Amino acid sequence: MVRWEPDAAGRLRRAALELFAERGVEATTVAAIAERAGVTERTFFRYFRDKREVLFGDQEGFAGLFVEGVRAAAPDAAPLEAVAAGLRSASDFFTDDARDGARLRSTVIDAHPGLRERELLKMADVGDRMAAALRERGVAEPGASLAAKSGIAVFHAAFAAWVAPGQTRGLADLTEDGLRELRAIAR
Amino acid sequence: MVRWEPDAAGRLRRAALELFAERGVEATTVAAIAERAGVTERTFFRYFRDKREVLFGDQEGFAGLFVEGVRAAAPDAAPLEAVAAGLRSASDFFTDDARDGARLRSTVIDAHPGLRERELLKMADVGDRMAAALRERGVAEPGASLAAKSGIAVFHAAFAAWVAPGQTRGLADLTEDGLRELRAIAR
């Protein structure tokens, strides 16, 4: 096992992703995850409520990256500029040393329709929260939702490109490309 | 009961929506739907596999409206123009005499998180199919997905406005507004 993170939570996350990729999520037990990570089951439950939380844990923290970015944008920033600030805030969080883990996670999720749905709902929730943050800034509907949802489409595409085999460019870079592409398309 | 469609399928749909709105989806039986529509249960099952199909039936036909519109767009139309043609094709299908039924359906769906998720997945599927139709036209990724998903955001917002209380403007009109708004936001 490659110990790409020194802490127990990181080892557990890596072990779970490897086992999910090898055996599928259903066939993987918490006992097997703990064993591969070299910790007890009790330690697993100190970090995660259940095995799926390894894939979808901390939705609040994840969505918060986007929302804080929107809130921190210049007061006179246009709606899509504020959304871009949200995407940048999230992109900066996913540094290149997180790419291998994200790649493995994407492989697992893409292989399970139920997990892909949950991922879709998770991103839709982030979009709803960014739209709410835009309305707090005085952006009216439907503009707020359109800007937020278009931004989510950009992030989704950039993330898929970031974890694609052989990709070496950073997520922040790919996100900027996507924002440029969105502007070009809507022109 | 207002018989706003003369056929049995239409009466069953209306009866089901009324009962879902009154009692919730779980508490509504096929027997009760058939009784209110004045037909037998056997007739219900001639038109629908189960009670949820009244809300989400014919995804192929629904998605087809969008995809055919994209395919029928002028060969030199820009990606968002082709998506706009898809949205127009779908909007034209929802004429004003379908609004009361759509309003009742939205009320039922908005009250159930599980149904809202299914609606979200249904729209995501339409987006994926429009993106595929754009790729057939030679549009590269991520442009195809961004244009299709932004278009779905426009349609979603326009549909919500169309079924809002007191709204008298047509869906096609509201969709054009949304497309203009999207262009303004991305400028």
Dump pLDDT digits (tens) for A9-39: 889 999 999 999 999 999 999 999 999 999 9
A180 → chain B, closest CA residue: B186
A143-162 vs A99-110: helix crossing angle, rounded to 10: 100
User: Which DSSP string corresponds to B150-175?
Assistant: HHHHHHHHHHHHHTSTT--S-HHHHH
Report d(CA A125, CA A140) in Å as an integer: 19
Report d(CA A70, CA A128) in Å as an integer: 12
Residue A6 corresponds to which tokens in the numbers above? 């020194």
Spatial CB neighbours of B64, under 8 Å, sequence gap ≥ 6? none
Preferred mutation among B146, B152, B154, B162 to probe A, highest tally of A CBs within 10 A: B146
Give the residue-averaged pLDDT of B16-32: 94
User: Which DSSP string corresponds to A93-105?
Assistant: HS-GGGHHHHHHH
Report d(CA B124, CA B149) in Å as an integer: 8
pLDDT band with cut points at 50, 70 and 90 for residue B82 = very high
> Residue B138 gets which letter from DSSP?
T
Query: Cα distance from B120 to chain A (closest Cα, Å)?
Result: 8
* Chain B residues touching residue A82 (CB < 8 angstroms): none
Residue A71's pLDDT is: 97
Residue A115 corresponds to which tokens in the numbers above? 């997990």
Nearest Cα to Cα of residue A66 among A10, A131, A20, A112: A131
Is residue A5 over pLDDT 90? no
Query: Would you give the distance in Å from CA B119 to the centre of its chain?
Result: 9
Structural domains of chain A, ranges and CATH numbers in brackets: 8-53 (1.10.10.60), 58-186 (1.10.357.10)
Is residue A114 over pLDDT 50? yes
**Nearest by CB to B153, which of A78, A146, A185?**
A146
Supply the mean pLDDT for chain A: 91
SS3 of B28, please? coil
- 10 Å Cβ neighbour count for A53? 12
For residue range A152-184, list pLDDT tens digits in order: 999 999 999 999 999 999 999 999 999 999 999
* Chain B residues touching residue A149 (CB < 8 angstroms): 149-150, 152-153, 156
Residue A6's pLDDT is: 60
Residue A99's pLDDT is: 93
Report d(CA A101, CA A34) in Å as an integer: 17
Is residue A80 over pLDDT 70? yes
Is residue B2 over pLDDT 70? no
pLDDT band with cut points at 50, 70 and 90 for residue B73 = very high
**Pick the residue with more confidence: B172 or B117?**
B172
pLDDT band with cut points at 50, 70 and 90 for residue B58 = confident
For residue range A125-157, list pLDDT tens digits in order: 999 999 999 999 999 999 999 999 999 999 999
Provide the CB-side half-sphere exposure for A104 (13 A, CA): 20
Report d(CA B29, CA B104) in Å as an integer: 18
For residue range B105-164, list pLDDT tens digits in order: 999 998 888 888 889 989 999 999 999 999 999 999 999 999 999 999 999 999 999 999
For residue range A42-52, list pLDDT tens digits in order: 999 999 999 98
Contact assignment for A183 to B181 by CB distance below 8 Å: no
Residue B168 corresponds to which tokens in the numbers above? 């008298």
**Nearest by CB to A185, which of B79, B121, B185?**
B79
Give yes or no for a contact between B142 and B129, defined as CB atoms under 8 angstroms apart: no
Report d(CA B129, CA A161) in Å as an integer: 20
- 10 Å Cβ neighbour count for B40? 13
Nearest Cα to Cα of residue A162 among A115, A79, A101: A101
SS3 content of chain A, % helix, strand, coil (to 5): 75, 0, 25
Residue B9 corresponds to which tokens in the numbers above? 């399928």
> Residue B72 gets which letter from DSSP?
H
Contact assignment for A154 to B147 by CB distance below 8 Å: no
Contact assignment for A150 to B182 by CB distance below 8 Å: yes
pLDDT band with cut points at 50, 70 and 90 for residue A1 = very low
Amino acid at position B25, single letter: V
* Chain A residues touching residue B81 (CB < 8 angstroms): none
Residue A4's pLDDT is: 46
Q: How far is CA A135 from CA A31, A130, B12, in A?
A: 46, 9, 40
State the burial class of residue A159 (Cβ atoms within 10 Å of its Cβ: 0-12, 13-18, 19+).
buried
